[in-house]
Amino acid sequence: MIHILNDLPSNVVGFRATGEVTEKDFTDIVMPKVKELVDRTDKLNYLLVLDTSLKNFTVGAWMKDALMGIKHLLKWNRAAIVTDVESIRTFTDAFSLFIPGEFKGFEHKDLQKAIDWVSEKTD
């Protein structure tokens, strides 16, 4: 299931994935929030905290995720994926080579760093 993360900076949309993640999660929760942010800011700063295995994402969820990525391809600004799985963080870091925008993986212990980075907060 996808849960909306509240109390994030206004230029960020964030979600927590737990248990099974379905197409309906993306259709009913993720995509409307992403559209709202892009309509308001003309860019996408996206935070996803993974508290479930990627194996728990249904095929429909993967398809909706891909569709969302393509639909907003030129709006991606920053995306932070928070997970303790090193291979997912490595893949996320490499994604910047293929898609417009910056993508970065963070460990759970660095959630605040992820929020600061994705919101473009600088020291």
- CA 42/CA 40 separation, integer angstroms: 6
User: Per the structure, how many domains does the chain have?
Assistant: 1
Whether 10 is in a domain gets the answer yes
**pLDDT tens figures, 18-47:** 999 998 998 999 999 999 999 999 999 999
- CA 40/CA 24 separation, integer angstroms: 24
Low-confidence ranges of the chain (pLDDT < 70): 70, 122-123
pTM score of the predicted model: 0.90
**Residue 33 sits in which domain range?**
2-118
Whether 123 is in a domain gets the answer no
Half-sphere exposure of 34 (CA within 13 A, CB side): 26
